[in-house]
Amino acid sequence: MEKAVNITINHLQHIGIPVTNIQRSQLFYEKLGFNNVMRAGFDHEDGKGTCIMMERRTIIIELYEFPAPALAPIRQRKDGHIDHIAFDVPDIDEAFTTLKEAGFEVIEEAPVFLAFWTRGCKYFNIIGPDGERLEFNQRM
């Protein structure tokens, strides 16, 4: 077994779930005791999408709705879809360099900034052995 990389992971930051109707999903998670703590738009190749972060105590679920043309594959699924698991890191640039140098398959060329939360966040993803996406995220 290879030696583990030396990277600080604070905790599980969020689980990302693509949804077909963000309002309906927000109401569902509110009924489970979650509160909407962030709402932001994001650019997608098919237009503008919407993202909300639903929080209950230490659990955050990211719900996001793609623009209409990109929703078709999601609507076809019958068993739901969890898109990624995100880990909170204290230094996104250090995490990026460490994982890249350790030979992990990194999707992005560099950490990506999103205008989420109060001061934004930066993230990047690696691919696991079965195609799963693991996101590393730092709130700015």
Domains of the chain: residue spans and CATH:
11-139 (3.10.180.10)
pLDDT tens, N- to C-terminus, the chain (140 residues): 578 889 999 999 999 988 888 999 999 899 988 999 999 998 888 888 899 999 989 999 999 888 876 666 666 666 667 778 899 999 999 999 999 998 899 999 999 999 999 999 999 999 876 677 889 999 99
What's the CA angle centered on 58, arms 110 and 15, to 5 degrees? 45
**Rounded Cα gap, residues 61 and 82, in angstroms:** 10
Amino acid at 63: L
**Rounded Cα gap, residues 23 and 65, in angstroms:** 10
**Rounded Cα gap, residues 63 and 53, in angstroms:** 6
**Rounded Cα gap, residues 118 and 67, in angstroms:** 24
pTM higher than the cut 0.75: no
